[in-house]
Amino acid sequence: MPADLVFRPPPGSDDLMWDLAGTALEAARAAAAVLVRGLGEDLEVDTKISATDMVSEADFAAEAAVSEVIASRRPDDSVLGEEGTSSSGTSGVRWVVDPLDGTTNYLFGIPQFAVSIAAEIDGETAVGVVLDPSRNETWAAVRGWGSRRNGLRCEVDDDRSTLSTALVATGFGYRPERRAWQSQVLTKVLPAVRDVRRFGAAALDLCWTGAGRFDAYYEWGLNPWDLAAGALVCSEAGGRVEALEGRLILAAPDHLFGPLRDLLAGAGAFDAPEGPEPEEW
């Protein structure tokens, strides 16, 4: 699908925004092609902060594909990639890249993973693309343009659910002590909502909240590459996305945001145990 149909820019769109949108889409498609080729292959796998936090050669190859596109189209921009790509630039634009969000799913053959690419201008996210190759879905947002799934406008469901009937998504950390705490929070959240889903790809959780597949999403301890693109998709779809006390991310329609925030506060979701995970965003 051509870039103009993916994003559907409004008349008189800013040239910079359009250039960033096209670059993000090209880079996401390049990374997705790498991931699709690697499905089912015997990949080299390592671990990061724990034995359950995996990284594969597919992650590195996909990030290299993204970096190549950005370097060719916008060589003066800076890049922050989850798998170690870090370059400084002079343009005021920074790319925040997760080349494979949902590595565990990918390695286990579970079709719930994505490429997540965002462009920031002077520290504020301006463009986001989340590409889900398993479903052939491209989630795209530009600040002020709205959010789209495969070119069709998507919006949060703003009147379907109350807190007690809300379908809520979440995610868990990799360290055992963090999982133990998050499971305690979950025991207080689960009885108060319709149900809880944990699919293992934060970028897609945010996009699905923006499209109304979930009523809300929360997770503690996301990094910039987990969050940037999906948060823009959700917010441009009418959702409220905020980083609350203690690195807790909450995304929901306005009418659910306050009640869910209060539920999470009462469940201890802001009070993470101390640990070695980085506290900086």
Number of domains in the chain: 2
What does the pLDDT average to over 149-172? 95
255-275 pLDDT, tens digit each:
999 999 999 999 999 988 766
Together in a domain, 121 and 219: no
Together in a domain, 221 and 136: no
| Residues 45 and 56: beta-carbon distance below 8 Å | yes
| Residues 263 and 189: beta-carbon distance below 8 Å | yes
55-100 pLDDT, tens digit each:
678 888 999 999 999 999 999 999 998 877 778 889 999 999 999 9
119-135 pLDDT, tens digit each:
999 999 999 999 999 99
Task: Tell me the residue range of the domain where 146 lies.
Answer: 3-153
- Looking at the predicted structure, is the pLDDT value of residue 54 above 80? no
Together in a domain, 105 and 178: no
CA gap 167, 254 in Å, rounded? 15
CA gap 110, 103 in Å, rounded? 10
- pLDDT for the residue 281: 35
- pLDDT for the residue 84: 78
- What are the tokens at 177? 């002590």
- Looking at the predicted structure, is the pLDDT value of residue 208 above 80? yes
For residue 274, being part of any structural domain is answered with: no
Percent of the chain with pLDDT over 70: 91
For residue 272, being part of any structural domain is answered with: no
For residue 123, being part of any structural domain is answered with: yes
Supply the CATH number for residue 204's domain. 3.40.190.80
**Which residues have C-beta within 8 Å of that of residue 165, sequence separation ≥ 6?**
193, 194
- pLDDT for the residue 47: 60
For residue 167, being part of any structural domain is answered with: yes
Query: What is the DSSP-derived secondary structure letter of residue 164?
Result: G
Which of the listed residues 153, 185, 203 is the one where a domain comes to its end? 153
| Residues 119 and 94: beta-carbon distance below 8 Å | yes
For residue 121, being part of any structural domain is answered with: yes
Nearest to 99 by CA among 140, 129, 136: 129
CA gap 58, 64 in Å, rounded? 10
Query: What is the DSSP-derived secondary structure letter of residue 10?
Result: P
Supply the CATH number for residue 8's domain. 3.30.540.10
**Which residues have C-beta within 8 Å of that of residue 243, sequence separation ≥ 6?**
249, 281
Which of the listed residues 125, 153, 181 is the one where a domain comes to its end? 153
- pLDDT for the residue 53: 57
- What are the tokens at 163? 């807190």
Together in a domain, 116 and 13: yes
- Beta strand 216-220 pairing with 167-170: parallel
**pLDDT-derived band at 276, boundaries 50, 70, 90:** low
- Looking at the predicted structure, is the pLDDT value of residue 221 above 80? yes
Neighbours of 12 (CB within 10 A): 5
For residue 158, being part of any structural domain is answered with: no
Together in a domain, 119 and 30: yes
Together in a domain, 110 and 41: yes
**pLDDT-derived band at 196, boundaries 50, 70, 90:** very high
Together in a domain, 46 and 138: yes
Which of the listed residues 113, 135, 153 is the one where a domain comes to its end? 153
Together in a domain, 31 and 87: yes
Together in a domain, 140 and 212: no
| b/e burial code for range 93-105 (CB count within 10 A of at least 16 → b) | bbbbbbbbbbbbb
Q: Minimum mean pLDDT among 99-103, 188-192, 229-233: which range?
A: 99-103
| Residues 28 and 138: beta-carbon distance below 8 Å | yes
- Looking at the predicted structure, is the pLDDT value of residue 116 above 90? yes
Model pTM score: 0.93
Together in a domain, 147 and 177: no
For residue 273, being part of any structural domain is answered with: no
- Looking at the predicted structure, is the pLDDT value of residue 112 above 50? yes
What does the pLDDT average to over 208-221? 96
Together in a domain, 34 and 147: yes
On average, the pLDDT of the chain sits at 91
The sign of the CA dihedral 243, 273, 182, 194 is negative
**pLDDT-derived band at 280, boundaries 50, 70, 90:** very low
What does the pLDDT average to over 211-235? 96
Together in a domain, 32 and 94: yes
- pLDDT for the residue 173: 87
Percent of the chain with pLDDT over 90: 72
For residue 234, being part of any structural domain is answered with: yes
